[in-house]
Amino acid sequence: MQDLLKAEGPAAVPGLGRPDRARSLWRDTWDILRHRKIFWVSLVMLVAFLLMAAFPTLFTHKNPEYATLAKSMEGPSADAWFGYDLQGRDVFARTIYGARTSIIVGVLATLLTVLLGGVAGVLAAYYSRWLDSVLSRVGEMFLGVPYVLGAIIILGTVAPAQSSPDKVTIMAVVIVVLAVLGWPILMRIARSAVIQAKHQDYVQAARALGAGPGRIIFRHILPNSLAPILVYSTITIGSYIGAEATLSLLGIGLRAPVISWGIAIADHTSYIRTGAHALFFPAAFLSLCVLTFVMLGEAVRDALDPKLR
């Protein structure tokens, strides 16, 4: 045996030498994702949209608010790649700058949804009994309200179309409305994941060693319950971007002076025959952005769910 070790070295004998790196869910997920074409395609598209939102001047130097009525509804040209809108503003510049507003609304609304739904789901699952019943019934009440109808009622009351709120106010109102109407679904997802995790042996061992509820939740339950929440949140960003456009199209969402894809679509739905370019390009970018987040969420879901591997 000693001669074998001297000849072959420790690595030749199983169990000796440097141990392999410990495997984890996130490392396995990355190993799967980096071999998926759909992940890289969605990631490249996501980076492009994020660059548009963060640094619009990299793509255009034109002022999206500058209007020349003499060029109203002119088609695409070398001077204006996407043409001009009804007021003579550059459609390409407004499409690029619209990415910022739409993505900010989608991301912040999703974060608020995760905060509301995640906290409610964790509390309902961990403490159970009467708290679970109360939170579940409240969530069912919100789920019983049709999404668009609820948004119309809330936005029509808080920020009616006749009012003229500033950019920050109207964006904040839309973000809060999207989150308030969307948190019950995430609460159910978080509740299910926490119920499954809290009965695992490592949680029982931590409780037996005297760990308090806070330590158990943040150190043991939450890290092992993030996978389904992460997948749903990624897809939800795209859903909220589409929802914002829908509300703007109905005249109850974002409005001028905010620049967004939804507003651009709403302003030109009546001119589809005479100026389809002013509606087509913002709608195309909106669809691609929503598709990007959906593709990314699907790729992450397939990598995290062992049943789909």
- pLDDT tens digit sequence for 265-302: 888 777 777 778 788 888 999 999 999 999 988 888 87
| Alpha-carbon separation of residue 247 from 174, 233, 244 (angstroms) | 9, 20, 5
**First vs last Cα of the chain: how many Å apart?**
42
Residue 147 is predicted with a pLDDT of 78
Name the more confident of 169 and 58.
58
Which of 23-32, 49-58, 70-79 reaches the highest mean pLDDT?
49-58
Residue 113 is predicted with a pLDDT of 93
Q: pLDDT tens, 119-157?
A: 888 888 878 778 878 888 888 888 887 877 888 888 877
Residue 161 is predicted with a pLDDT of 58
Residue 24 is predicted with a pLDDT of 64
16: pLDDT strictly greater than 50: no
CATH architecture for segment(s) 44-308: Orthogonal Bundle (1.10)
User: CA 75, CA 59: separation in Å to the nearest integer?
Assistant: 20
Residue 15 is predicted with a pLDDT of 43
Average confidence (pLDDT) over 164-177: 82
Average confidence (pLDDT) over 208-222: 75
| Alpha-carbon separation of residue 5 from 12, 16, 18, 19, 235 (angstroms) | 8, 10, 15, 17, 53
10: pLDDT strictly greater than 70: no
12: pLDDT strictly greater than 60: no
Type of residue at 49: F
User: CA 50, CA 52: separation in Å to the nearest integer?
Assistant: 5
Q: pLDDT tens, 220-258?
A: 777 777 888 888 888 899 899 988 888 888 878 787 778
Residue 51 is predicted with a pLDDT of 93
**Which of 101, 93, 162, 8 has the alpha carbon at shortest distance from 289?**
101
Which of 30-39, 149-158, 202-211, 279-288 reaches the highest mean pLDDT?
279-288
Q: In terms of DSSP H, where are the helices of the chain?
A: 2-8, 25-33, 37-54, 91-127, 129-143, 147-158, 167-198, 201-208, 213-216, 226-249, 261-267, 276-304
User: Which of 56-65, 112-121, 150-159, 209-218 has the lowest average pLDDT?
Assistant: 209-218
Tell me the DSSP string of 280-304.
HHHHHHHHHHHHHHHHHHHHHHHHH
Average confidence (pLDDT) over 19-27: 59
pLDDT cut 70: percent of the chain above it: 87
Residue 18 is predicted with a pLDDT of 46
User: CA 131, CA 4: separation in Å to the nearest integer?
Assistant: 64
47: pLDDT strictly greater than 90: yes
Give the domain ranges of the chain: 44-308
